[in-house]
Structure 1
């Protein structure tokens, strides 16, 4: 039986970051994932979404030794722009920008492709002597006691750990084995994720365009084949998203360019399109005996305002702080109760805000879309409110 301080179930971005963080802090770590990570842009199964690390998340990456490896590939996000295109003709009728200069001399965040993040994180894990990553192996059973957890893996082997970290997604096997329930909200939406090039430079501006069905979001990426490039998340009601995903490339380029209001010129698809359902989900508790939930095992939210992964890394930071404060009590009940208290209420409140934003972005009725535009204009016009919203967006508690 393998014995470690921490077993991490899940080798996505949150799980790999957790492995780096706890390994850097001196804990022995085993990270498992049933799917081998794809680390090349053009390979089958590559995650073509991108992640915007806001300032607090970037600080955590620097603290755990990852940022030096990621920084050369990161695209700064200097401005967050919101466009309301909810008029009858679908043309932009209100544009409001939130500039990071109002808060500090640093960008709001930095954007990186998810496939590249996995590549660089795995390379960093290989330099940590007490961290092991086992791709192709998942968790198959969990037995907890006061002093330890025993986990059965899908290859038949067993692991004894003081703490099990569930970073294994919205259908988390560890969460289910620990008997923790969830509350789920379904919006009837799906999101398309892909990458594009365009003739007009993005100038480090991330843009959300609101019409109906959900936002169309363009997030800056490094140039691709000598052209400006952006990652796109396009949220629509389910049937419409499926129709768009089935279009041939020429027709899709035409429709997405129109949906983007041509703010960056005609868009050209440069990757495959992935589609996934949009839900909100929160676990009833973030901990159980010898188990801590982070990331989508704990909470799932619509991809608005770069909140998902940044909230996940705030989970990790809280758990890491508690572990480093008292390594001798790693995984015991008081530590995990403190983790639950530190995160559950705060995340629930943040999720309610994201839920309201998403429902506002979906509005079909013209009078409601008009109210949405007026609300955006009013919030932006008040400087203290505008700056407060920007601070909240970056993860501040108030």
Structure 2
């Protein structure tokens, strides 16, 4: 027996759960599937220990979906983004510039939360929506589309017809592959370590990117942990270097970590397990197929610089919700309008983040000196500095 819904969402990560809550809150009937049940506890095996910074433009779509109300009490505001160049002969901060949200807005740049907590609260929100059916443990096996609807066969054999299928099923998206949409991928030879640290110096709601070589070392504010100031760390380096670091004994790893952090927060202590993530840029050549929209990492993947990744995903979701009408849901004109709205911004941000990442990877001293001089010059021009902040946030 076939089921019928307005929207089927393939993928139950943070972006897919947000999409289910958004379409459900807008009154559409929704089924959301993911082959892996979400891990919703910090210490559980497989927990996603990365964090997400929601920038200002993401808050309205989260609020309309009933999500921001659940996560706001746990969110850590990000008032200042600090860029540090430590590319000199010794790993010490030689140029430091603060980008303060107060220069462009009365609100912080964004708010930071752990990904495992987002999954917990997003799943709870879906439980409040009677028109949303979340099915962890099931995935998308086959997709067949026609002008009037899509037919999705799930991994348990169930069949679902939907007016719109939303592919939020990751960088290896089964739905994208079923549609035959190719991707362009750029590999940097990098990986990232993600983990949490405690430190004696308070972070004062400052997100800090330290650039030397191999990629940025980024500390993002978190709530206190066991009575100590706490930050999430994303440490990007070459693949072999990340594997070397991960294999170190804890005391040796902490020594290397504190050298790389330039001592800006005092002695850092590892406060969570290490997780490793590959760093790529990836873009689908199209954002839609018949009765199907690609969003989030099914559509685009960026390195974790400037908090662009999930905020680009929520911009996708905002465009889909804005364009959705019961009478035209999933039609070609709606999907074409979605691609026209999102594609220019996606291309701009992928190019910008890719350029920043390559600049951060520089190993030759003369190139690192040029990078530092460029940062200082850009910061010194107030209109340029404010324009870059507005662009990074996504303000129009």
TM-score, length-scaled by structure 1: 0.98
The aligned residue for residue 316 of structure 1 is 317
1:341 counterpart = 2:340: yes
Equivalents in 2 of 1:320, 1:55: separation in Å? 18
Q: How far apart are the structure 2 equivalents of 1:188 and 1:209?
A: 19
- 1:200-251 deviation per Cα after TM superposition (whole angstroms, max 9, x unaligned): 1000000000000000000000001111000000000010001011111111
Q: Give the C-alpha shift of residue 110 in structure 1.
A: 0.2
Q: Is it true that 1:24 corresponds to 2:25 in the alignment?
A: yes
Correspondence for 2:374: 375
Matches for 1:116-155 after TM superposition, within 5 Å:
116-155=117-156
User: What does 1:41-190 align with in structure 2 at a 5 Å threshold?
Assistant: 41-190=42-191
Aligned to 1:285: 286
Between the aligned partners of 1:187 and 1:175, the Cα distance in structure 2 is: 23
| Aligned-partner SS, 1:351 | helix
Cα drift, residue 396 of structure 1: 3.1
- State the secondary structure of the residue aligned to 1:87: coil
Aligned partner of residue 243 in structure 1, secondary structure: helix
**Counterparts of 1:58 and 1:363, CA distance in 2:** 35
Q: Is residue 139–residue 153 contact of structure 1 (8 Å, CA) maintained in 2?
A: yes
Pair 1:331 & 2:330 matched: yes
Query: Contact (CA 8 Å) 1:311, 1:395: kept in 2 or not?
Result: no
Deviations 1:311-354 (A, max 9, x none): 1100000011000xx22100011100111111112201111011
The residue that corresponds to 1:191 in the other structure is: 192
Counterpart in the other structure of 1:394: 393
Secondary structure in structure 2 of the residue aligned to 1:72: helix
> 1:382: Cα distance to partner?
0.7
Distance across 2 between alignment mates of 1:214 and 1:59: 32
| CA distance in 1: counterparts of 2:240 and 2:115, whole angstroms | 26
Q: CA offsets, 1:63-90, max 9 Å, x none?
A: 2211111011000000000000000112
Q: SS at 2:209's partner residue?
A: strand
43-52 or 338-347, which deviates more? 338-347
Match of 1:327, SS? coil
Q: What is the rounded CA distance, in whole Å, between the counterparts of 1:360 and 1:372 in structure 2? A: 7
Task: Tell me, in whole angstroms, the C-alpha distance in 2 between the residues paired with 1:61 and 1:220.
Answer: 21
Residue in 1 that maps onto 2:358: 359
Matched residue, 2:297: 296
Q: TM-score, normalised by structure 2?
A: 0.99
**Paired residues, what number?**
395
Distance in 2 of aligned mates of 1:117 and 1:289:
31
Measured in 2, the distance between the counterparts of 1:105 and 1:346 equals: 24
| 3-state SS of paired residue (1:194) | strand
* Unaligned segments of structure 2, at least 5 residues: none
Equivalences for residues 209-220 of structure 1 within 5 A: 209-220=210-221
- Provide the residue aligned with 1:38 in structure 2: 39
Runs of 4+ residues over 3 Å off in structure 1: none
